[in-house]
């Protein structure tokens, strides 16, 4: 007896699915077998995670599954008893899947930068008022000190620069959807060029905390720093995963990804330093579109970058050499 057409169609569909799965597994195994393939898969994972903002972790997912299961017990028992048996496993499974799906969807809608950009003409609104108030306070401090620029203390200059770096951190966290106060994972530093080196002369307040203790001054070879490359290129550059791209470097840094934005004097348009924004999340400053996030962040941070240049030129010097020597001599002690 020949098989029916329905069975043949079903068998063909099953064969296609099995073949596609085998091809996919072979391709995945091949990617995992080579270093570049593993790096590509890892980058794809992190970029997808950053895009959708689903960052609940394994522990969070287990808790979500447990809470959803508890909530699903009542309707499953009620329906089971009404049908003459103890428990309705089909309804239980359905309710669990729906609750888990709704929670993940809520996380996506509230955390995803792309979704926020779709529904809102501009992202980064949560702390917008706070950033504006902080920026206004910084500008006021600069204006108050300009008449006595010749006598302003080094501590006051460093304090103003620290406040600007704090606003930069707040801005970056807001625009990239990093709103968890218990997990402040973004840092900012100001580096100034000195010959073949870059000297850290200021950091944000969080970097000074006992949890991190990132010291000032700190001296690094310009050739080994992303900031050095950004100053030469005269544009913002990023690193997706520090340990993967610089395996020979120190492995104890509290960050994984870096965004470097060069600073230019207003006389010769010459790079005299760089702002380095670091994050503990891999590929935090990158997306599936090359250079998109770097360019967006550089453009949106321009008001704060200009404030740093304004402070330096108002209280230290006007041209590049004066800025370099003055900032290092006054702040790197």
Q: Is residue 119 one of the residues assigned to a domain? A: no
Q: Is residue 44 one of the residues assigned to a domain? A: no
Query: Are both 129 and 264 inside the same structural domain?
Result: yes
For the sheet containing 271-279, what is the strand order?
218-221, 197-203, 186-194, 271-279, 257-264, 237-239
Q: Is residue 38 one of the residues assigned to a domain? A: no
Q: Is residue 308 one of the residues assigned to a domain? A: yes
Query: Are both 194 and 103 inside the same structural domain?
Result: no
The tokens of 289 are what? 């579109």
What residues does 176 pair with on adjacent strands? none
Q: SS3 for 95? A: helix
Query: Are both 182 and 158 inside the same structural domain?
Result: yes
Distance CA 275, CA 202 (A): 10
The tokens of 41 are what? 């898969």
Query: Are both 71 and 208 inside the same structural domain?
Result: no
pLDDT tens over the chain, length 333 residues: 555 665 667 667 777 878 888 888 888 788 777 877 777 777 777 777 666 555 555 566 677 778 888 888 888 888 877 776 777 888 888 888 888 888 777 766 665 555 554 444 345 677 888 999 999 999 999 999 999 888 999 999 999 999 999 999 999 988 877 777 666 689 999 999 999 999 999 999 886 566 666 788 899 999 888 999 999 999 999 998 887 777 666 666 778 899 999 999 988 899 999 999 999 888 888 877 778 888 888 999 999 999 999 999 999 988 888 899 999 999 987
Query: Are both 231 and 271 inside the same structural domain?
Result: yes
Distance CA 108, CA 313 (A): 44
Which pLDDT value is given to residue 287?
Answer: 78
CA distance between the termini of the chain = 92
Query: Are both 229 and 182 inside the same structural domain?
Result: yes
Q: Is residue 15 one of the residues assigned to a domain? A: no
Residue in this structure with the two tokens 């169609």, named with its chain if needed = 9
The tokens of 54 are what? 């689903």
Which pLDDT value is given to residue 123?
Answer: 54
Distance CA 90, CA 102 (A): 18
Instruction: Report the domain count for the chain.
Output: 2
Q: Is residue 22 one of the residues assigned to a domain? A: no
Give the residue numbers spanning the domain of 92: 57-111
């Amino acid at each position: 007896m020949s098989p029916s057409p329905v069975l043949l169609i079903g068998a063909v569909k099953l064969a296609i699915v099995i073949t596609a799965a085998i091809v996919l597994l072979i391709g995945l195994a091949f990617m995992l077998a080579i270093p570049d393939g593993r790096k590509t898969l890892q980058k794809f994972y992190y970029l997808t995670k950053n895009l959708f903002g689903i960052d609940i972790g394994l522990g969070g997912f287990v808790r979500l599954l447990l809470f959803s299961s508890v909530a699903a017990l009542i309707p499953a028992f009620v329906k089971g008893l009404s049908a003459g048996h103890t428990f309705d496993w089909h309804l239980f499974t359905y309710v669990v899947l729906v609750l888990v799906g709704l929670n993940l969807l809520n996380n996506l809608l509230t955390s995803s930068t792309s979704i926020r950009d779709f529904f809102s003409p501009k992202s980064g609104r949560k702390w917008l008022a706070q950033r504006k108030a902080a920026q206004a306070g910084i500008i006021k401090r600069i204006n108050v000190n300009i008449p006595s620029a010749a006598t302003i203390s080094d501590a006051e200059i460093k304090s103003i620069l620290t406040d600007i770096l704090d606003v930069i951190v707040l801005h970056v966290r807001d625009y990239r959807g990093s709103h968890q106060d218990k997990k402040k994972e973004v840092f900012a530093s100001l580096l100034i060029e000195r010959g073949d080196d870059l000297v850290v002369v200021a950091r944000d307040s969080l970097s000074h905390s006992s949890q991190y203790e990132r010291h000032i001054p700190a001296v690094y070879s310009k050739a080994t720093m992303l900031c050095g490359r950004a100053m030469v290129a005269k544009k913002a550059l990023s690193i997706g995963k520090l340990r993967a791209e610089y395996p020979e470097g120190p492995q104890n840094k509290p960050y994984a990804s870096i965004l470097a934005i060069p600073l230019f004097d207003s006389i010769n348009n010459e790079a005299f330093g760089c702002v380095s924004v670091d994050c503990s999340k891999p590929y935090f400053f990158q997306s599936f579109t090359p250079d998109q996030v770097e360019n967006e962040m550089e453009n949106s941070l321009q008001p704060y970058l200009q404030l740093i240049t304004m402070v330096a030129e108002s209280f230290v010097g006007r041209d590049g050499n004066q800025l370099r020597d003055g900032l290092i001599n006054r702040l790197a002690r």
